Amino acid sequence: MTLDTASDVYVMTNELVGLPLTPPSLMGEWRTPLMCQTGSFIYGYLNWHDKYDGESMEPDDCGVVGVELLCRDLHGISTHNLTHIIHYPGSYQGNLVTCPAGVLATGLRGKQGADRDSTLDQDGLINLEIKCQDGSTYRSLRPSEHGTMGNTMECSVGSYLCGVQIREVTLGHSDDNTCITDMAIICCSP
């Protein structure tokens, strides 16, 4: 990752969800960070989900299988989107979630699927909630939502979300796919 010396960029050390999956081998690996262009910040997102079929191992559920982060500059002009998609069979696009016009994101919170014993289907991250600089929060609508919300990871005052690092399990790693299991936020100061 190349950092712009003209801006204050740092990676939050805490994970978004901070909830363990059982067994830990289902947590996966951290991927290359996704960053908005210099001078751009996150203001919204789209999730891709798999279809929730319950706790049974058949069929296997995954949770969030993709995320598209929307970036714009301080003048409100959209610059580009950051996309990370796992091509999971039967997945669908969730609803668009954005901060109000002219407002940027300052935090993110994840919802982890219910922690279950090894005989039941584990899910990874099942939803995201964005926190905007005006204090409002928005989350994607998802039916049959279960699990536990993690703590909100927030940027320091005067900085905004400008990227994320995604943790995921490669499809086929085990007979219980968990897909995207966590995120860390990256904050930048204008």
pLDDT surpasses 50 at 20 = no
Of 31-45, 122-136, 166-180, the poorest mean pLDDT is in 166-180
Residue 4 within any structural domain of the chain: no
Per-residue pLDDT of 95-136, as tens digits, reads: 889 999 999 999 988 777 655 455 444 566 777 889 999 999
**CB burial readout 127-159, b (16+ within 10 A) else e:** bbbbbbbeeeebbbebeeeebeebebbbbeeeb
Can you name the residues that pair with 180 across neighbouring β-strands? 168
Q: What is the pLDDT of residue 41?
A: 95
Read off the CATH number of the domain in which 46 is found. 2.100.10.20
Residue 183 lies in a domain: yes
In this structure, are residues 74 and 113 in contact, taking their beta carbons and an 8 Å threshold? no
Instruction: Report percent pLDDT > 90 for the chain.
Output: 19
Q: Is 177 or 184 the better-scoring residue by pLDDT?
A: 184
pLDDT at position 67: 80
Per-residue model confidence as pLDDT tens digits over 55-92? 544 455 566 667 888 999 999 988 888 776 655 556 65
Which SS3 state, helix, strand or coil, does residue 33 take? coil
Question: Could you give the number of structural domains in the chain?
Answer: 1
Q: Look at 21-25, 36-40, 114-118 and tell me which has the smallest mean pLDDT.
A: 21-25
Does residue 104 sit within a domain?
Answer: yes
pLDDT computed for residue 170 by the predictor? 60
Radius of gyration of the chain (CA): 16
180 assigned to some structural domain:
yes
CA separation for the pair 57, 60 (Å, rounded): 5
In angstroms, the CA 17 to CA 153 distance is: 9
Task: Read off the pTM.
Answer: 0.74
Q: What is the pLDDT of residue 52?
A: 54
Amino acid identity, position 106 = T
Q: Are 30 and 167 in contact (CB under 8 A)?
A: yes
User: Would residue 2 count as lying in a domain?
Assistant: no
Range of the domain at 28: 9-188
3 domain-assigned: no
Q: Assess if residue 1 is contained within a domain.
A: no
